[in-house]
Amino acid sequence: MERAANNRLLIYVGSLGPLGFVPASGTITVLVVGIPLFWVSRSIPLIWYVPAVLAFVLASVWVHQRGDAALGSKDSRVLVWDEVAGFLIAVTGVPFTWQTALLAFLLERGLDILKIAPAKWVEDHWPGGWGVVGDDVVAGLYTLAVLQILLRVAPSIMV
């Protein structure tokens, strides 16, 4: 009975309450959690932001590993921490503007859905939570690279 209660709590936390249960849960979660976290963290120095995001990525791996086991599936759409982790990586060191937030959102979600190599391979070959979160990390890194290039070659797009 205690294990069932722990699993319910884990699923609730992993789904960020009701967010994991809505249609397009990953996209909605990035909109209502990822973008506000980007805004809130806009003044945090990189020396603190990067370790915090890495800790969140590791916590996401654990949540997805345990949560998927409790749900009896791999990469359950109910658990949404991986989506937030990918977005937080995507905006690392990027100055916040609403245009940048929208561009980062569209790029990261599109790349996460497309699963450009090696994202699909990571998802399919890395075990458990590592694969579930790993493909979002790849999408986040690709988005980060594009945003950093745009900041240098076309900064007016980002303002």
Q: Where are the domains of the chain?
A: 2-14+25-158
Residue 2 pLDDT > 80, yes or no? no
Q: Which two tokens stand for residue 69?
A: 């086991």
Is the model's pTM score more than 0.85? yes
* pLDDT over threshold 90, residue 159: no
Q: What is the pLDDT of residue 1?
A: 60
CA–chain centroid gap for 120, Å, is: 16
Rounded-to-integer distance, Cα 136 and Cα 118, Å:
11
Q: Choose among 154, 41, 135, 143: nearest CA to 102.
A: 143
